[in-house]
Each structure stands twice: as structure tokens, then as C-alpha cells.
Amino acid sequence: MSYMPHVFLSGLGLLIALIFHQVMTDIFKSQPPISITSTPYPYFSLEIWLAALSSIQELLLRQKNVLFSLVKATETIFSPAVETTFVALVIMAWILKKDNPVYLLSFATFKPPQAWRVSHDQIIEMMKRQECYTEESLDFMRRLLERSGTGQSTAWPPGIVQCLHGQKTDRSVEASRQEAKTVIFSIVEQALREAQITPKDIDVLVINCSLFSPTPSLCAMVINHFQFRPDILSYNLSGMGCGASLLALDLAKNTLQARFRNTIWGGKALVISTEIITPNLYHGNERGFLLQNTLFRCGGAAIVLSNNWMDGSKAWFKLLHLVRVQGTSDESYHCVYESEDSEGHRGVSLSKDIVLVAGKTMEKNLGTLGPYILPLSEQIHVAYSIAARVILKTMGKWMRSKNLPMVKMYVPDFKRGIDHFCIHAGGRAVIDGM
């Protein structure tokens, strides 16, 4: 499907060539109404081309009259080759119109400067220099770091790292905005460069950042810096956590397919995902809040999407399916919760239920995604187990019997429909839960 637009354009060229060939053949077979003996290359004479264009116009008019039943067709207007090619192109155009693809043109991630990189020992030293944590809290964060699965060269923002060099920690809005600029501008430049496009080519901009939502917005900051077009569609998502990356992707996909489906060259969307650490260092001692000080790091990613048919041949990937599942229970709502602790220190508490909530949500998500990606054999097994359970349950109620056999729910093998799983790296416990 990725190369079908190119095949379609080649087919259009072939159709035009076949029509010209038919017309030229008819001209040279018949008694020429004009003299063609005056030039050694009659095919290139102006008279021949004018006659050919006039003949094509006449053929199209005759075909129009036949289609609208203005006249009765007494003979075939176009050759079988022309008619076959036209039918094939109509079918191909219908398939392309139904496809409505979304392609990934580029993907960029933030590469932090060396000055931002710190080890586990340096992180604990930074915590000590905040002069607000008890020895018990420091020991707890040290154990969390050892079990977190993070490396010895992860990135923290300069507003916090500078405390290692004798300066006071800077958690101001300006320091936070500077972190955002460094991360976002870097990945946007890389994404645009790899996609071989300019800022003026972007039609949709979506940025998600959960905890830092300044005024003007991050979208306004990017639009101002890169001088995007005034008519760009921009969306700034906040407060939606780690899952906002997929929500932003869904928003960009739906916007491209709805707003730019009928345009000639489609549209392009820039999706940016990041989290700003500078203003979100927790300064209390409650363990539920201390997790955020050890798990989160500086980072960001940007992708360029396109629904232009012609971009399929140079795209990295094509987006096939995107499903969303929303947890509605109280446990889901409170598993990641921003609030103040008992001493008034603001932070994000991570509940012990987060692994269970993530597992249940993942199960629902895969259940929704399964019909799109699983082979038919796996879907038949699932349908059979569901039907058997429903029938036996109904028979048990009707017969008032509890001795009927139980049918175990069939768990499909998703590895038969998915080549690679990319699990959110929200700490080792979350990965183990998945």
C-alpha cells in the first residue's frame, strides 16, 4: 500500500500515453487533413499535436454524451487497453481513498548535554543539599535508586544540578521554561531535519507536558521560536500523565484524517512529548511522594506525522491501529495524584495500586486491540471459550445446577499478531507488572 500512490501516478501517465497512441494511430491511418510531408519528423510537428488534442477533446465529448445517454453508442470510443487501464485506476483510487493512511516521517529524542548527566551518588548528594530530607528519607530514596533500573548517567535539569556546584537550587518559572526550551527546541529541530521539511510545512502541533503548563503555552513558545504558519492548529495537553503521549498521537491522527483528508497533499503534524522536572522536585518526607524524586528524568521526544499518500515510500512506519482505554475506578483515579502532603509540600504521590491498575488497563487495551491484530485462528479460540462459558452459565441457571463443567477463558497468544512490545519504562515494578 505504501507504493500504491506512485503506481497510481504511473498508471495515469500510462493512460494518457495510451490515449495519445490511439489518437496518433487514427490520424496516421486516415487520410491526413493536413500535410505532414514537409518535415522529416511528423510526430513532432505542431499541426499533428494540435490535431491530436482536438481529437482527444472530441473523444471525451463523445464519451460524455454516451455516459449521460445523450446519444446511443454505435461503436467503441476508446480502445480496450484504455478502458482497462481506466477501470484499474478507478479501483486503485477507491482503495487509496478508503485507506486514509497516517505515516511516521521522523522520530527524535532528546540527547542531554554532559553537564546535565548525574550518577546515583550525585542524585543523593543533590537531595542532601536541599536541606529538607531526613536521613530516613535519604536512605529510602537511595534504595529506590538501586532498584529503579536507571543508569549512572541520567539527566537532571541545570536548575537543580547547579546545587552540586555551590549554587542554590533554582525552581523558578523561568528556569523551568529554560529547561523546556532546551529539550523541546532540540528535538523539534532534529525531527524537522530528518523529515526534510520546514516549520512552514507543519499543519498541526500537539504538545503534552503533564506538570508544567505555563502562560504563554508551550505550543505558543514553539510557534514563536520556529515561526510556524499563523493558521497552524495547536493543542497543549497537560495533567494527563505518561499516557498523554498516545493521546497526543491519537489527537494528531484524528485531526489529520478529518481536516486534511480531501486536500491534495494532505497535512503534516508535529507531536511533542516531554516532562519538565525543574518545578516538580518534592521537598517533603512522605514516602508516597518521594518516588517522583527517583524515577523521573529530563527527556523528550518529537515525531512528524503525515497523511500524504506520496509520503508512504519514505516513511519509517505506517500507523495501523490506535485504541484507547480509560480507567474509571477510584483506584485508577488516585494511583497518580498531585496534592500536598501533611506539611503542605506539593508533589505527585504514586499509589501502591499503580501496578495493578496498569495491568488491568493493559488487559482491557489488548482486549480492544485483539480483533484488529490477532490471526483468525486465535480469534476463533477466544470466541469459542466465551460462547461456551455463556452457554454453560445460562444452562446452570436454567437447570439450577452447580455441577456443570467450567470452561477456562482462552488467553490468546498476542505474539502471533505483534512482533515487538514497547513497554513504558515507568520503573522496574511497572515493567514487571506488565
Nearest residue to 404 (alpha-carbon basis) of 387, 391, 413, 418: 391
Question: CA-CA distances (angstroms) from residue 193 to 115, 200, 248, 319?
Answer: 25, 13, 21, 21
Name the DSSP letter for residue 306: E
* Model pLDDT for residues 138-163, shown as the tens digit of each residue: 999 999 888 887 889 999 999 999 99
User: Measured between alpha carbons, how far is residue 22 from residues 28, 29, 76, 85, 223 in Å?
Assistant: 10, 11, 12, 13, 54
Q: How far is CA 50 from CA 26, 77, 270, 330, in A?
A: 14, 20, 48, 77
Instruction: State how far the Cα of 297 lies from the Cα of 290, in Å rounded to an integer.
Output: 14
- Spatial neighbors of 366 by CB under 8 A, at least 6 apart, are 414
Q: How far apart are CA 102 and CA 97, in angstroms?
A: 13
- C-alpha span between 187 and 301 (Å, rounded): 6
Residue 136 has which C-alpha cell?
530516613
Report residue 142 as a C-alpha cell.
537511595
Residue written as cell 455516459?
67
Q: Tell me what pLDDT residue 69 has.
A: 65
Cα–Cα distance, 219 to 227 (Å, whole number): 11
Question: What was the pLDDT predicted at 336?
Answer: 86
* Short-list 103, 115, 19, 113, CA closest to 58: 19
pLDDT at 113: 93
> Which cell numbers hold the place of 166?
555551590
Which cell goes with 315?
A: 516513511
pLDDT at position 226 is 96
- DSSP characters for 109-157? E----GGGEE-HHHHHHHHHTTT---HHHHHHHHHHHHHH---SSEE--
414 neighbors 374 (Cβ within 8 angstroms) = yes
Residue 69 region by backbone torsions, left for phi larger than 0, else alpha for psi between -120 and 50, else beta: left
Task: Please name each of the domains of the chain with its CATH number.
Answer: 4-99 (no CATH), 103-320 (3.40.47.10), 370-433 (no CATH)
The residue type found at 95 is I
DSSP single-letter state for residue 312: G
The beta-carbon contacts of 389-392 under 8 Å, at least 24 apart in sequence, are none
List of residues 6+ apart from 249 with CB closer than 8 A:
271, 303, 305, 319, 322
Q: What is each CA distance from 413 to 27, 277, 370, 373, 410, in whole angstroms?
A: 65, 39, 10, 11, 9
Task: For 263, list phi and psi in degrees, rounded to 5.
Answer: -85, 160
Cα dihedral: 141, 143, 146, 151 (round 10) = 0
Grid cell digits, residue 265? 497533499
Sites in the chain below the pLDDT cut of 50: 31, 33-34, 36
Separation between Cα atoms, residue 256 and residue 206, nearest integer Å: 12
